[in-house]
Amino acid sequence: MDAKLSLLTRLQHLGTAPCDENTPVAPVGLPSIRTSTVRFNSIEDLEETYRRKSRGERLVTYGRMGMETHAALEDIFCQLEGGKRCFLASSGLGAITMAMLSLLSAGDHVLVADCVYGPVRHLDNTVLKRMNIASTYVSGSSIDALEKQVKENTKVLYAESPGSLLFEMLDIPALAAFAKKHGLILVIDNTWGSGYAYKPLELGADVSVIAGTKYVGGHSDLMLGAVVAKDKAIIAQIDLSQYAMGFSVSADDAWLAIRGVRTLPIRMEQHARNALQVCRYFDTLPETRQVFHPAFEKDPGHALWQRDCTGSNGMMSIELDLSDKQIRAFVNALQLFSIGYSWGGFESLIQWVDRPTLENHAYWNRQDSQIIRLHIGLEGVEDLIADLNQALLQARAVR
């Protein structure tokens, strides 16, 4: 598709089958092809397919490697991220694991920004450790701290921006310059931007990882991950490992993700508009110590957000001066926010962030207050604010 067309236009047309005779447009134009086996007409046909495949053509040979639906989704992720090749995984964490296991070998060391999604630590402390791959957690905002921890065997710098829980904005161009200086591969978890609000590969990262489970799917009904890269040698490294490890995605989930992506821009913009209004509401409350949402003017990362992002989303955290009992009362009294871990779907969610997890982040330097993380959904924002307000009145009454 013509790369000069705007991303908005491309997202409406990618993955639609060419119109031969009365080809359906809705919902994707491509059927969700559920199959394990692909049949060949003759031995010569099979041989020719493999010959063309070895020259880099994306041809279907077996279900695990994906059908046309998967190829269309891979193309969409490449267009979103500005990458050359995408590898799908069955979840966001699967995509993170694929990237790490593809790019690291026994005896290597990985530097990890301390603001990353929690289960990355589990991966590092279990599977990578068992494979003799060491990891060191460092503030992703401090090039000095990274300089102190880089070793001869460091191969990868893994980060997430904005970071999980407090949405710490990292300076990706500065991290890319640091990675280049030391010959490291820079991998960024870009689930927050989902290829629409933020473009790590264009800012200098080598690999971008997205949990398609969140904004790409957008309807809280699928699990999906993607690894997108631009450099030939890195792509070859991931290709080998992905094939070896047998990552594969259900055709139905790939199909749902394509349907989701048609409305990704419009949904993210509405989530972002709603979230900003909720930030402003919290900012007026005497209990609020800090609002964490990079698109909000008072967020410490706002200048970096203005420089590097093209949009925002519905994620925010609020530091509140409330007791444990009051937080429980507040969260339990909400009618429109469900208590849940995920985000990126249509619905509003809330999570009481546990302190030990926060204390892993150098960005967090307080002891005595509470953090709640909110995902602001697509509901009417006035209803969400009224709900937050009634719950707060109930919490204030608790002693």
Ligand X SMILES: Cc1ncc(COP(=O)(O)O)c(C=O)c1O
Query: What residue ranges bind ligand X (CB under 6 A)?
Result: 91-93, 117, 160, 164, 189, 191, 211, 213, 223, 225, 342
Q: Which is nearer to ligand X, 66 or 92 (CB)?
A: 92
C-alpha dist (Å) from residue 150 to 112, 154, 182: 11, 6, 8
- Residue 283 annotated in active site: no
Q: Which is nearer to ligand X, 116 or 184 (CB)?
A: 116
* Structure-token match 């992720």, residue found: 77
DSSP H or E segment with residue 158: strand 154-160
Shortest distance, CB of residue 157 to ligand X, whole angstroms? 17
- Residue 243 annotated in active site: no
Q: Does the N-terminal peptide bond of residue 162 adopt cis geometry, omega within 30 degrees of 0? A: yes
Distance CA 28, CA 121 (A): 37
Quick one: DSSP state of residue 220?
S
Would you list the DSSP string of 263-324? THHHHHHHHHHHHHHHHHHHHT-TTEEEEE-TTSTTSTTHHHHHHH-S---SEEEEEE---H
Shortest distance, CB of residue 96 to ligand X, whole angstroms? 6
Q: Which is nearer to ligand X, 216 or 329 (CB)?
A: 216
Q: Could you say which of 64, 129, 181, 232 is catalytic? A: 64
- Residue 373 annotated in active site: no
Shortest distance, CB of residue 25 to ligand X, whole angstroms? 29
Q: Which is nearer to ligand X, 192 or 296 (CB)?
A: 192
Q: Which is nearer to ligand X, 93 or 254 (CB)?
A: 93
Shortest distance, CB of residue 218 to ligand X, whole angstroms? 13
Angle at 284 between CA 162 and CA 271, to 5 degrees: 40
Shortest distance, CB of residue 141 to ligand X, whole angstroms? 17
Helices (H), the chain: 7-13, 43-54, 68-81, 92-103, 119-123, 129-130, 143-149, 172-182, 232-245, 251-262, 264-283, 302-308, 324-333, 355-358, 381-396
Q: Which is nearer to ligand X, 225 or 301 (CB)?
A: 225
Angle at 194 between CA 190 and CA 195, to 5 degrees: 95
Q: Give 202: exposed, middle or buried? Use CB within 10 Å, 0-12, 13-18, 19+.
A: middle
Q: Which is nearer to ligand X, 89 or 179 (CB)?
A: 89
Distance CA 30, CA 234 (A): 30
Shortest distance, CB of residue 316 to ligand X, whole angstroms? 14
* Structure-token match 């989902």, residue found: 194
Query: Which residue is at the shortest CB distance from ligand X?
Result: 92
Shortest distance, CB of residue 339 to ligand X, whole angstroms? 15
- Residue 53 annotated in active site: no
Shortest distance, CB of residue 302 to ligand X, whole angstroms? 20
Asked if residues 89 and 224 have their Cβ atoms less than 8 Å apart, the reply is yes
Q: Could you say which of 85, 155, 199, 214 is catalytic? A: 214
Q: Could you say which of 53, 58, 117, 121 is catalytic? A: 117
**3-state SS, residue 381:** helix
Give the number of other CB atoms < 10 A from CB of residue 208: 32
Query: What are the structure tokens assigned to 178, written together?
Result: 């640091």
Q: Which is nearer to ligand X, 16 or 242 (CB)?
A: 242
C-alpha dist (Å) from residue 216 to 51, 85, 100, 112: 34, 17, 22, 25
C-alpha dist (Å) from residue 8 to 14, 72, 355: 10, 16, 40
Question: Catalytic residue positions?
Answer: 64, 117, 189, 214
